[in-house]
Amino acid sequence: ASCGLSAGICETRVGEAALAGALPPYVKPSEGDRWRALAPGAPLTMRFLAHQPVVVSVGNTLFVHGGVLPEHVTFGLDALNAEISNWMKSGKSKGMPPLSVQGKDSLVWARHYSHPAEHRCDCDLLKETLAMIPGVERVVVGHTIQHPHGITSACDGKVIRVDVGMSKGCVDAKPEALEILNNGESISKCTIDADGVVTTSALS
């Protein structure tokens, strides 16, 4: 899944519309079952997604699909996770998703730190946000394809962008992996070439 820890949030929103009988125009009729299976309360959602956090810290690194902003921290990251989980479990086909998964400033849609051109990233906002979360030194995000650069970092390493666009529906890029060791003492990306050879290099 391209959404990492928040896998399925985008599809679940569309799946909710599917349960209500309104598939988006870009979804083929043959794919309708997939969207319905990922709707709130649906079997795949309940088994694989509803219990997963949308934003989570591992050591001193925070992981989130789109981005985390000061208002998210003020509301409470645990509270946001609970709110989204409860909605995914609800089974309400016509209930609106919580604001935390809607709009350009939500956890799953934010792109404030993700633009491939670093000068367009709001590094000051990121610094402010991280300062509000004790013990967290960086955030790992997806959502915004970094092709052709692969996994990238910005804002003096305070954000790592891992969406490489490997889906055939995007740019069909080669997969890459992020490796964080010893609480960030070593941060590397692993790439694979056309011959299947894996190379690990420090993430600059």
Tokens of 49: 């997604």
Q: How far is CA 167 from the centre of its chain?
A: 15
Q: Is pLDDT of 199 > 50? A: yes
The three-state secondary structure class of 133 is coil
Angle at 64 between CA 11 and CA 73, to 5 degrees: 120
Q: Is pLDDT of 37 > 60? A: yes
Report d(CA 122, CA 115) in Å as an integer.
9
pLDDT in tens, 43-91: 888 998 889 999 999 999 999 999 999 999 999 999 999 999 998 888 6
pLDDT grade for 101, boundaries at 50, 70 and 90 = confident
Instruction: Tell how many helices (H) and how many strands (E) occur in the chain.
Output: 6, 8
Can the peptide bond before residue 148 be classed as cis, meaning omega within 30 degrees of 0? Answer: yes
Give the strand order in the sheet containing 138-141: 55-58, 61-64, 138-141, 159-161, 152-154
Residue 199 exposure: Cα atoms within 13 Å on the Cβ side = 9
Non-local (6+) Cβ contacts of 196 within 8 A are none
Burial class (CB in 10 A: 0-12, 13-18, 19+), 204: exposed
* Global confidence as pTM: 0.86
Report d(CA 176, CA 58) in Å as an integer.
20
Report d(CA 104, CA 124) in Å as an integer.
18
Q: Is pLDDT of 169 > 90? A: no
Between 185 and 37, the more confident residue is 185
126 with 158: CB under 8 angstroms?
A: yes
Tokens of 21: 């009988």
Other CB atoms within 10 A of residue 3 CB: 18
Which of 189, 194, 195, 193 lies closest to 176 in space, CA to CA?
A: 189
